[in-house]
Amino acid sequence: MFDSKLALSTPTINAMYTACTRAARGIVRDFGEVEHLQVSRKGPGDFVSKADMKSEQIIIDTLQKATPTYSMLVEESGAFVGREPDYRWIVDPLDGTTNFINAIPHFSISIGLEHKGEIIAGMVYDPIKDELFYAEKGKGAFLNEKRLRVSAKANFDDAVIGVTFPRRDDNNDFDFYKTLKEVEAHTAAVRRMGSAVLDLCYVAAGRYEAYWSHALSPWDMAAGSIIVKEAGGVVTDLKGKDTFMSTAHIIAGSESMHKKLLKLVK
Ligand code: IPD
Ligand code: CA
Ligand code: CA
């Protein structure tokens, strides 16, 4: 479990950190159980939804203790308005559930903080790789103790691009498979790893040059979006506008790769 030093210590970062690491203890324990259940006939389905709910409750309790007046938007429990509606935590207690269910060690816990509609802080923890990504507006983005910068690659041919495939029932204005074909033809590789939250963090860390997705929920984007921005990247919706949290489609990358990918996706 996380044993690096936090490079940034503010009340917001500390609250997110306590919530993430508390929830992670249970998630890691439960993942061990899933690996075991995976090979059983019944499979780990019910067990996983309980693991998800447990993580969520730990995060809610911890954040409420730290900031009793803040509002919350939490994936499983929904939204509730606190005495301070301007501040809202946005939480995904387990992102990458399908990976988790199938004993694939790639998933995360995600907490973002919104102020008057703008995301101002975020933390994402991958407890298996012990990678903690975090950022606060104006203070930079970090992975464990290290400062993050988006990729400096200039050539689109060399780019590795992350993606989330749309679900069958997603109905939107974009031709996803046409774009995918184009992106595959013009870049080094496309990766679909199964945790949208981590995909955004991988852009911030320069592991992907850019990432796009056609249909996400606010808790899939909140924390990652500020981490990308604070690492020097650009985040918009698929039309190049700032409204990704409401349109639910998103594109993130270094400035030059964002521009190149946007051209293919638009
Ligand atoms: C999902 C993951 C996945 C993305 C889905 C999300 P969940 O979140 O981020 O990568 O493709 O659209 O719903 O359900 O594992 O929290
Ligand atoms: Ca999610
Ligand atoms: Ca989830």
196 CA: nearest ligand 1 atom? 9
Residues of the chain with pLDDT under 50: none
What are the residue ranges of CATH 3.30.540.10 in the chain? 11-147
Question: Under a CB-based contact definition with an 8 Å cutoff, are residues 110 and 219 in contact?
Answer: yes
Let me know if domain 156-265 sits in CATH 1.20.1250.20. no
Cα 196 to ligand 1 centre (Å): 6
First-residue to last-residue Cα distance in the chain: 41
Residue 36: alpha-carbon gap to chain centroid: 27
Helix (H, G, I), strand (E, B) or coil at 86: strand
Token digits of residue 131: 């990678």
Cα 96 to ligand 1 centre (Å): 5
What are the residue ranges of CATH 3.40.190.80 in the chain? 156-265
What distance in Å separates the CA atoms of residue 132 and residue 114, rounded to the nearest whole number? Answer: 19
107 CA: nearest ligand 1 atom? 15
Q: Whose CA is nearest to atom 7 of ligand 1?
A: 95
Question: pTM, whole model, 2 decimals?
Answer: 0.95
- Nearest ligand by distance to the CA of 215: 1
Q: Whose CA is nearest to atom 11 of ligand 1?
A: 164
pLDDT of residue 163: 97
Task: Name the residue of 220, 244, 249 to mutate for ligand 1: max ligand atoms within 8 A of Cβ.
Answer: 220
What distance in Å separates the CA atoms of residue 12 and residue 243, rounded to the nearest whole number? Answer: 24
Could you tell me the fold of the domain covering 11-147? Fructose-1,6-Bisphosphatase; Chain A, domain 1 (3.30.540)
pLDDT of residue 169: 60
Please provide residue 74's backbone torsions phi and psi, each rounded to the nearest 5 degrees. Answer: -125, 135
pLDDT of residue 171: 59
Q: Using a 6 Å CB cutoff, which residues line ligand 1?
A: 92, 95-97, 164, 194-196, 216, 220
220 CA: nearest ligand 1 atom? 9
165 CA: nearest ligand 1 atom? 11
Cα 154 to ligand 2 centre (Å): 30
